[in-house]
Amino acid sequence: MIKIQCIMKIKNICCIGAGYVGGPTMAVIALKCPHIKVNVVDVNQERINAWNDENLDNLPVYEPGLADVVKEARGRNLFFSSDIENAINESEMVFIAVNTPTKTYGEGKGQAADLKYVELCARTIARVAKTDKIVVEKSTLPVRTAEAVQTILDSSGNGVHFEVLSNPEFLAEGTAIQDLFKSDRVLIGGQQTERGKEAISALVELYANWIPKEKIYTTNVWSSELSKLVANAFLAQRISSINSISALCEATEADVDEVATAIGMDSRIGNKFLKSSVGFGGSCFQKDILNLVYIAKTLGLDEVSEYWNQVIKINNYQKERFAKKIMTSLFGTVSGKKITLFGWAFKKNTNDSRESAAIYVADILIENGAQICVYDPKVSKQQMLSDLDNLNSRSSEQNNKSLSYFSEPLKACENSHAVAVITEWDEFKSYDWHKIFDCVMSPAKVFDGRNILDKEALKDIGFEVFSIGK
């Protein structure tokens, strides 16, 4: 752990990127640090307009508790704008929270993180900054990215000194606000120089406004960058591990929930992230593991690369296996059949659908001729179609014809050949499944991709129920 020392006072901070990380994180910082002005900026004017919308239901990010935080801090010391250059100049500390998607082109395609937006931020900061800045990596980045950012910043020729810190986020969408309020840990990586330690101290003191200092861990830059990737890889590994066992359970008379409970009672293992499902999604897990795979491969660590790639393979296998189970149970074909999906978000309590299992399950079913009907309380039809289009499996017109969105769950089920639960929204458990039974085709089939429904109660109604790992 780096020993920290003198404190640089921060009065203005800027965050470039108003998405799922930047928006909620800065909102909480503004709430907890009323003495600091927080400017959140983004090139997407539509997104900025949504953050400034008087109707808090229209915020571009849905997180329980976020609207209340924004309501209290916005206009006081929290501001959203597209004036990036002015926000940079005003600030002593600049957070970079832009998207780092997996590359879809060139060297590292399909595995490496695309850093073009991070590089653009660095070049913008270098060009416009007139005073010394602390630049904080908030985006999830590959190891040694800070080194590249530092090089770009140092080449500005403006006589401005930049100190680059790594401060990865550890947020779970759906619980992001609580995660920010009561963080397990805050990780800060920086240079072990005198000025580097001063920058680390400044960021430590910012978080110390509400986070106990014993939960703020400081390291070198490279350890911090790698820790984020490894944390997500380990969590995803647990999910893929229990999902691989779910297939074994289905082939035997074992129950995956009972197996998970039994092994989770072992204190060396613990019970977290042992919930079997249709597969993990979200913006981080797959992207970060692929990045780890790529880094290991480029360093000649082929065995390490292949080990972590298996986590992705099992996750893909789980989604394909679920879709094929639907097809097999519907007498070997879904052509011309209506399949209802409950949920499109990658998990409950978020409107984020990035890498959601629903996308891939729907894609497989559509490819086999199914008509997909979807209900999700937070994800729009526009987003669903965009998710499918991004797969490039077929034309946008075909996707639009094959997917229907419903604002009422019962309407989505009318004359459906099967209902599949993809997202674990709590409301699905409280539905009147008798009414659903009355409006679906016989034999009525439910595929519980999250194991959240009362299987025996559904059987008593008359449903054929297919669960994961049972």
Q: Say if residue 157's pLDDT is above 90.
A: no
Average pLDDT over residues 66-81: 98
Domain ranges of the chain: 12-219, 286-467
Q: Say if residue 345's pLDDT is above 50.
A: yes
32, 6 in Cβ contact below 8 A? no
With a CB cutoff of 8 Å and minimum separation 6, the contacts of 282 are 173, 346, 347, 352, 354, 355, 356
DSSP helix/strand/coil, 22: helix
Query: What is the model's pLDDT at position 215?
Result: 97
- For residue 124, CA distances in Å to 77, 96, 199 come to 24, 11, 21
Buried b or exposed e, range 314-333, using 16+ CB within 10 angstroms? bbebbbebbbebbbebbeee
Residue 81, token pair as written in the block: 């704008």
Average pLDDT over residues 40-58: 97
Write the DSSP string, 50-99.
HHT-SSGGG-SS--TTHHHHHHHHBTTTEEEES-HHHHHHH-SEEEE---
CB atoms within 10 A of CB 212: 11
DSSP helix/strand/coil, 41: strand
Q: Say if residue 1's pLDDT is above 60.
A: no
User: Comparing 59-73, 145-159, 308-322, which segment has the lowest mean pLDDT?
Assistant: 145-159
Opening angle at CA 412, ends 340 and 381, nearest 5: 85
12-219: in CATH 3.30.540.10: no
Query: What is the model's pLDDT at position 101?
Result: 80
* pLDDT-derived band at 293, boundaries 50, 70, 90: very high
What CATH number should be reported for the domain whose range is 286-467?
Answer: 3.40.50.720
40, 78 in Cβ contact below 8 A? yes
Q: Say if residue 4's pLDDT is above 50.
A: no
* pLDDT-derived band at 148, boundaries 50, 70, 90: confident
Query: What is the model's pLDDT at position 3?
Result: 44
Model's pTM, two decimal places? 0.89
What residues are annotated to the active site? 284
88, 125 in Cβ contact below 8 A? yes
* pLDDT-derived band at 384, boundaries 50, 70, 90: very high
Alpha helices (H) along 251-301: 256-264, 285-298
Q: Say if residue 2's pLDDT is above 50.
A: no
Query: What is the model's pLDDT at position 13?
Result: 98
Q: Say if residue 362's pLDDT is above 70.
A: yes
User: Around 431, how many Cα atoms within 13 Å sit in the side-chain half-sphere?
Assistant: 24
265, 113 in Cβ contact below 8 A? no
CA-closest candidate to residue 441, choices 408, 420, 461, 414: 414
The rounded percent of the chain whose pLDDT value lies above 90 is: 84
174/313 Cα distance (integer angstroms):
26
Question: Per mean pLDDT, which of 141-145, 154-158, 322-326 is the most reliable?
Answer: 322-326
The rounded percent of the chain whose pLDDT value lies above 70 is: 97
Q: pLDDT digits over 194-226, tens only?
A: 999 999 999 999 999 999 999 999 999 889 989
Helix (H) or strand (E) holding 186: strand 186-189
Query: What is the model's pLDDT at position 6?
Result: 45
412/176 Cα distance (integer angstroms):
30
Query: What is the model's pLDDT at position 429?
Result: 97
Q: Say if residue 8's pLDDT is above 70.
A: no
DSSP helix/strand/coil, 447: strand
Query: What is the model's pLDDT at position 203?
Result: 97
Average pLDDT over residues 296-320: 97
CB atoms within 10 A of CB 442: 9
Q: Say if residue 248's pLDDT is above 90.
A: yes
On the question of a common fold for 12-219 and 286-467, the answer reads yes
Q: Say if residue 5's pLDDT is above 80.
A: no
CB atoms within 10 A of CB 12: 16
User: Comparing 3-7, 57-61, 344-348, which segment has the lowest mean pLDDT?
Assistant: 3-7
Name the burial class of residue 194, with classes exposed (0-12), middle (13-18) and buried (19+) by CB atoms within 10 angstroms of its CB: exposed
Query: What is the model's pLDDT at position 140?
Result: 65
Average pLDDT over residues 164-189: 94
Dihedral sign, Cα of residue 279, residue 283, residue 285, residue 290: positive
Q: Say if residue 365's pLDDT is above 70.
A: yes
Residues in a beta bridge with 188: 218
Query: What is the model's pLDDT at position 142?
Result: 61
* pLDDT-derived band at 143, boundaries 50, 70, 90: low
Query: What is the model's pLDDT at position 99?
Result: 85
340/451 Cα distance (integer angstroms):
17
262/249 Cα distance (integer angstroms):
14
Q: pLDDT digits over 385-404, tens only?
A: 999 999 999 999 999 999 99
Q: Say if residue 7's pLDDT is above 80.
A: no
* pLDDT-derived band at 105, boundaries 50, 70, 90: confident
* pLDDT-derived band at 154, boundaries 50, 70, 90: confident
